[in-house]
Amino acid sequence: MNNYSLTIKAAYLGYVVQAIVNNFVPLLFVRLQTEFGIPLGKLTILITLNFCLQLLVDMFSTPFIEKIGYRASMILSNAFVIVGFLLLAVLPGKRVDVFFGLIVCVCIYAVGGGLQEVLVSPIVEACPTDHKEAQMSLLHSAYCWGYMAVVLLSTIFFAFVGISNWRLLAVLWCIVPAVDLILFTRVPIAKLETNTEESIGFKELASQGIFWLMFLMMLCAGASEQAVSQWASVFAEKGLGVSKILGDILGPMLFALCMAVSRTLYGLKGREINLHAFMSVSTGLCIVAYMIITFVPSSVIALLGCGLAGFSVGISWPGTFSAASALVKGRGTLLFALLALAGDLGCSGGPTLAGAVAGLAGDNIRSGIGVACIFPLFMGVALMILRKRSISS
């Protein structure tokens, strides 16, 4: 008998790999500034490049994935991450320009991260399990718990081994994608069931207004999450004047913990909670959190605002995936890839906008996050449109 519970666990681990890809290098930004003299504005390019490449993978990988299959694609995605992180340990500053070396490493592991993003949701969706909405939220909570693990274990490593040995830590993080790669050589993988009416192409998807509403919601979900997440460590260190260790614990780790709690809560209690109501309340809390981070001068309260932001954005990404799967006609790999594309557009645009505005404001990250509040505002508008549509239909 096929053990699909192991498949789901392997997919969970895939999102932990995604968390490593997206969140390890930003923890090094201040170190890279001091060690190599790379300005903060230039380091923003690494965030943008990571998510833009993942975006391109989202856009163009569907025919490739359908040709070689989910298993081979997952193995390949983990291999890209391993190679990228191994190069991160040896390439920058050795034989090439430091920043060019960082760009090469980011390009390689971003391809792996992009494939993971496209693959894990349809793999779990295809597993013969009940309560897909709750299962999807639990799946996405794995990203948050992985994010926490990246911050906590990296912080412990920096405290006891020294941040100067960050290259060694990059190698150690390769263990996770290596384990996931091995798992995906063995676990059973079901095919995502679609009938003739559901299996449609981009033209048919694009003709549906509900698809574009979901696309906008995914973009806002990614931007709302990453605008705070990617800059939380720098915000805590520079904006609030705390140490590197405290900055990582009080900034990104608090954000990740609260986001994980939100997703796990819905994953465990989703059958008892109205998804639209939960998303609407969460979006309102997100706007409040952004305002706290931007305008409240107290460092303690501002850090609590980071935590509130994490909790409030937790349901946005998996909730939109679940809503789209239920409402959009055409639930194959293409739909999941396009939603991942929208999410990565937001993941790139949110922190890039925040970083650019912060640079113009004299590296004031509070100002950048304040401007990025437009994303949860748009999410709120989209949810109101969705509610009116469901009432009228």
Q: Establish how many alpha carbons lie within 13 A of residue 178's alpha carbon, considering only the half-sphere containing its beta carbon.
A: 10
DSSP-assigned letter for residue 164: G
365 and 358 Cβ atoms separated by less than 8 Å:
yes
The Cβ of residue 191 has, within 10 Å, a number of other Cβ atoms equal to 9
Q: By the 8 A CB rule, do 351 and 44 touch?
A: yes
For residue 83, what are the domain limits?
4-189+197-392
Q: Which two tokens stand for residue 341?
A: 């594309």
So what's the pLDDT on residue 175?
Answer: 97
Number of domains in the chain: 1
Tokens linked to 279 = 């998303």
The verdict on pTM exceeding 0.85 is no
Per-residue pLDDT of the chain (393 residues; tens, 9 = 90+): 467 889 989 999 999 999 999 889 888 887 888 888 887 778 878 888 887 888 788 778 888 888 898 999 999 999 999 999 999 988 876 666 888 888 999 999 999 998 998 888 888 878 877 666 677 778 888 888 898 888 889 988 988 998 889 999 999 999 999 999 999 999 998 876 544 444 567 788 888 889 999 999 999 999 998 888 767 766 677 666 666 666 666 677 788 889 889 888 888 876 778 888 999 999 999 999 999 988 888 777 877 888 899 999 989 988 898 888 778 886 677 888 888 888 878 887 888 888 888 778 877 778 888 888 999 999 999 999 988 877 655
Tokens found for residue 18:
């995604």
Cβ atoms of 350 and 222 within 8 Å: the answer is: yes
8 Å CB contact between 224 and 279 = no
Q: What is the pLDDT of residue 73?
A: 94
3-state SS class at 127? coil
State how far the Cα of 13 lies from the Cα of 177, in Å rounded to an integer.
8
DSSP 191: P
Whether 66 and 333 have beta carbons less than 8 Å apart is answered as yes
Report the CATH number at residue 25.
Answer: 1.20.1250.20
